[in-house]
């Protein structure tokens, strides 16, 4: 499948050097992607859990066009567009209790970086300037910039970049990813993670911890896992005693993908800072947000420079996001997502008898199909997930391949996250095509092909 660099025929440097060129898509509409030869693919991944309203949504296109033709650019140090203020107000009204402010940047990683900077500055304002480090959990992903990577718990991806990262403080994952029974149940992984966090906090580096970053529902990195309630309760208790801040990374989960506007509410997490990404620009515009509590904002040293980027609060991005968030939080769409989530869970349950499938999990419209893995190394798990995702593409459905090392054991999964506007018939067809791919994968695993 892979082409050596010398056999590449175009100058596009691919995400995985040496990887064969990915398919070309010429256009898209609704939940469908079209190849130049007319082949139609159903996008069951929403791009990358991003295009929640599908492709070519007329309201979004209209908002973009209007912004582009009236105020295409404004640097946030110079001024702000009315849509930025309206969007901030709307997000705060939907956010978990205590959140009072928001700022906008341009991707998930930068939203996490902004949260880290805010946490460090707020600690300085509280008179705790030695608190400059952030704790991340195992089996998490927070983005590919140095601060976000530092708290990411996917070791293979980090190794080449160790020298670039901040001082790493990590705690084992609270999820028990190989657990088959109740995916929301408690188990000793949560206990172990709490013990490790507490040991870190009372240890020599405890006084340097500014914040702990948590995904309320770990998405792609852990294959759709809800943070255990035991870990959440302990985290709140430890925060009270050790004065760190809690950053909820909701880049994937915010704005309806798992049901409510914020997954923190679903798992009982009370964050001080919240990062929002993918669903905010619904794939049309690179925009993300970092939300902060009143306490964090009050603690910021007067005149502190929060830093930022030239495309922060970009007027086209905020116009898109304002239209998107209004649509995503309409009661009719929320009811549709709830019903479709039930359909998805039922369809996924129907995959359990496929020999290529190890487990299935879902939260609203975020799901993972965990695969049986053929070989002993993580490379094999990653290659296998990619192979099965390519089989799905051959069957006409887009899903995302994922792999990780769980307590030393390679795991592979496919993330399924259809657009929130998917029609029930299209969802059924997505899952039918996925089943075709998984049956082929089972044949490969069992040596029938
Ligand atoms: C939970 C989570 N946080 C942060 C990020 C980083 O977002 P981005 O790729 O937009 O920088 C991702 C990306 O997939 C993510 O899933």
Query: What atom of ligand 1 comes closest to residue 109's alpha carbon?
Result: 11
> What's the burial of 439, exposed, middle or buried (CB within 10 Å: 0-12/13-18/19+)?
middle
Between these two residues, 318 and 15, which has the higher pLDDT value?
Answer: 318
In this predicted structure, the answer to whether residue 408 has a pLDDT above a threshold of 80 is: no
**Nearest Cα residue to 363 out of 383, 386, 338:** 338
CA 218 – ligand 1 centroid, Å: 11
In this predicted structure, the answer to whether residue 7 has a pLDDT above a threshold of 70 is: no
CA 249 – ligand 1 centroid, Å: 9
Domains and CATH numbers, the chain: 5-56+331-445 (3.90.1150.10), 71-328 (3.40.640.10)
In this predicted structure, the answer to whether residue 378 has a pLDDT above a threshold of 90 is: no
Query: What atom of ligand 1 comes closest to residue 108's alpha carbon?
Result: 7
- List Cβ neighbours of 303 (8 Å cut-off, separation of 6 or more): none
Q: Check residue 266 and give its pLDDT.
A: 96
Q: Calculate the average pLDDT of the chain.
A: 92
User: How many Å apart are CA 96 and CA 217, to the nearest integer?
Assistant: 15
CA 112 – ligand 1 centroid, Å: 9
Measuring from each residue's beta carbon to the nearest atom of ligand 1, which residues come in under 6 Å? 107-109, 112, 141-143, 215, 219-220, 249, 251-252, 277
Q: Check residue 178 and give its pLDDT.
A: 54
Q: Are 296 and 245 in contact (CB under 8 A)?
A: yes
User: How many Å apart are CA 289 and CA 336, to the nearest integer?
Assistant: 25
**Nearest Cα residue to 119 out of 309, 271, 318:** 271
Q: Check residue 222 and give its pLDDT.
A: 87
Instruction: Kindly list the strands in the beta sheet with 32-34, ordered across the sheet, starting from the edge strand earlier in the chain.
Output: 27-29, 32-34, 40-43, 397-398
User: How many Å apart are CA 217 and CA 223, to the nearest integer?
Assistant: 9
Tokens of 337: 């997502």
pLDDT digits over 298-312, tens only?
A: 999 999 999 999 999
Q: Are 118 and 87 in contact (CB under 8 A)?
A: no
- State mean pLDDT over 357-363: 96
CA 284 – ligand 1 centroid, Å: 16
Q: For the whole model, what pTM was predicted?
A: 0.95
In this predicted structure, the answer to whether residue 85 has a pLDDT above a threshold of 70 is: yes
**449 band by pLDDT with thresholds 50, 70 and 90:** confident
**Which sign does the torsion angle of CA 432, 437, 440, 441 carry?**
negative
* Residues 388/394/397/403 CA torsion (nearest 10 deg): 20
Ligand 1 pocket check: which of 278, 289, 321, 368 to mutate, most ligand atoms within 8 Å of Cβ?
A: 278
**Which sign does the torsion angle of CA 288, 99, 103, 80 carry?**
positive
Q: Are 59 and 414 in contact (CB under 8 A)?
A: no
**Protein residue with its CA nearest to atom 7 in ligand 1:** 108
User: How many Å apart are CA 292 and CA 271, to the nearest integer?
Assistant: 9
Q: Are 310 and 397 in contact (CB under 8 A)?
A: no
């Amino acid at each position: 499948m892979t082409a050596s660099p010398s056999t590449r025929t175009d100058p596009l440097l691919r995400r995985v050097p040496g990887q064969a060129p990915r398919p070309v898509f010429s256009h898209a509409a609704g939940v469908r992607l079209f190849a130049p030869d007319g082949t139609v693919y159903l996008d069951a991944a929403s791009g990358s859990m991003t295009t929640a309203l599908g492709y070519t949504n007329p309201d979004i296109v209209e908002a973009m066009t209007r912004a582009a033709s009236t105020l295409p650019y404004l640097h946030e140090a110079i001024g702000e567009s009315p849509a930025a203020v309206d969007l901030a107000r709307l997000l705060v009204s939907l956010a978990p209790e205590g959140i009072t402010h928001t700022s906008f940047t341009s991707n998930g990683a930068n939203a996490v970086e902004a949260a880290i900077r805010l946490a460090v500055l707020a600690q300085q304002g509280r008179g705790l300037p030695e608190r400059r480090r952030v704790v991340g959990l195992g089996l998490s992903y927070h983005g590919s910039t140095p601060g976000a990577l530092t708290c990411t718990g996917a070791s293979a991806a980090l190794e080449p970049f160790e020298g670039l990262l901040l001082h790493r403080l990590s705690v084992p994952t609270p999820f028990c990813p190989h657990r088959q029974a109740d995916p929301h149940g408690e188990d000793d992984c949560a206990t172990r993670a709490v013990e490790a966090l507490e040991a870190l906090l009372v240890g020599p580096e405890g006084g340097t911890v500014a914040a702990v970053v948590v995904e309320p529902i770990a998405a792609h990195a852990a294959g759709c896992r809800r943070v255990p309630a035991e870990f959440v309760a302990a985290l709140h208790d430890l925060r009270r005693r050790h004065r760190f801040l809690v950053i909820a990374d909701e880049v994937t989960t915010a704005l309806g993908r798992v049901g409510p506007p914020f997954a923190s509410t679903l798992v009982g997490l009370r964050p001080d800072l919240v990062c929002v990404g993918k669903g905010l620009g619904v794939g049309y515009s690179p925009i993300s947000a970092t939300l902060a509590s009143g306490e964090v904002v009050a603690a910021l040293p007067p005149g502190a420079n929060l830093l930022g980027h030239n495309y922060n609060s970009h007027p086209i991005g905020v116009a898109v996001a304002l239209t998107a968030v209004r649509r995503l939080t309409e009661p009719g769409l929320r009811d549709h997502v709830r019903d479709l989530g039930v359909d998805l869970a039922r369809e996924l349950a129907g995959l359990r008898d496929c020999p290529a499938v190890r487990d299935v999990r879902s939260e609203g419209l975020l799901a993972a199909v965990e695969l049986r893995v053929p070989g002993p190394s993580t490379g094999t798990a990653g290659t296998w997930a990619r192979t099965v995702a390519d089989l799905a593409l051959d069957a006409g459905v887009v899903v995302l391949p994922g792999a990780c090392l769980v307590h030393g054991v390679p795991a592979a999964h496919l993330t399924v996250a259809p657009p929130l506007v998917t029609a029930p018939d299209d969802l059924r067809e997505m899952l039918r095509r996925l089943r075709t791919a998984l049956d082929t994968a089972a044949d490969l695993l069992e040596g029938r092909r």
